[in-house]
Structure 1
Amino acid sequence: MTETAASTDSQRITMFGAEWCGDCRRSKKVLDSLAVDYDYVDLESVEDGADRAKAISGLSKIPVIVFPDNTYVVEPTDADLRARLDESTPVA
């Protein structure tokens, strides 16, 4: 399910995650395999990263992936993430 984030200042995708999280590694692999330009917030090294992710989604689940239109997904399947990326890709 896609939700709207309270506020993000970026025109890029931002992914909040952690290396120990299997869903995060899987989603990161999808983004990397599609050569998506995104910012990665590692919750283990960014002091307020987990608080920021929770403020966006209201949940303590990761990954939280925020899109430039201020929508986000939490723990997406590969198919859901690919579909959401297709929706946000501008048509030339």
Structure 2
Amino acid sequence: MANSNIDVYGADWCGDCKRAKDTFNRLGVAFTWHNIETEDGAADRAVEISGQKHIPVVLYSDGAFQVEPSATDIEGKLKELGVIAA
């Protein structure tokens, strides 16, 4: 998997979070999963990044973030970063 320094903040019960993780896995892009319910400080960090309580929050290597991104949003950002081919 491509090393991309991507952090995904979410919860196991969250459908949008599952979709985001599935998208990264399907595209072969590594990410670090932060479970906001079990990891100390993860929920606060997600709010700190996005300014809101919606999940997932995806933080990219360039400092940009997406909240509740669609698969298309994620693919577009990965192409912009050069992590996957355009």
1:6-58 per-residue CA deviation (whole Å, 9 max, x = no partner) reads: xxxxx701000111000000010000111111111011210211100000000
1:38/1:58 CA distance change after superposition, 3 Å: same
Q: Is 2:36 the counterpart of 1:43?
A: yes
1:77 equivalenced with 2:70 (yes/no) = yes
Q: Where does residue 59 of structure 2 map in the other structure?
A: 66
Greater share of strand: 1
Share of identical aligned residues, percent?
37
Give SS of 1:20's match.
coil
Q: What does residue 18 of structure 1 align with?
A: 11
Q: Give the number of aligned pairs.
A: 82
CA distance in 2, matches of 1:39, 1:53: 13
The alignment's TM-score, normalised by the length of structure 2, stands at 0.88
SS in 2 for 1:15: strand
Measured after TM superposition, the shift of residue 90 of structure 1 is 5.3
Aligned equivalents of 1:78 and 1:25: distance in 2? 11
Give structure 2 stretches of 5+ with no counterpart.
none
Alignment partner of 2:23 out of 27, 30, 33? 30
Please list every run of 5 or more consecutive structure 1 residues that lacks an aligned counterpart in the other structure: 1-10
Matched residues in 1 for 2:18 and 2:83: separation?
A: 26
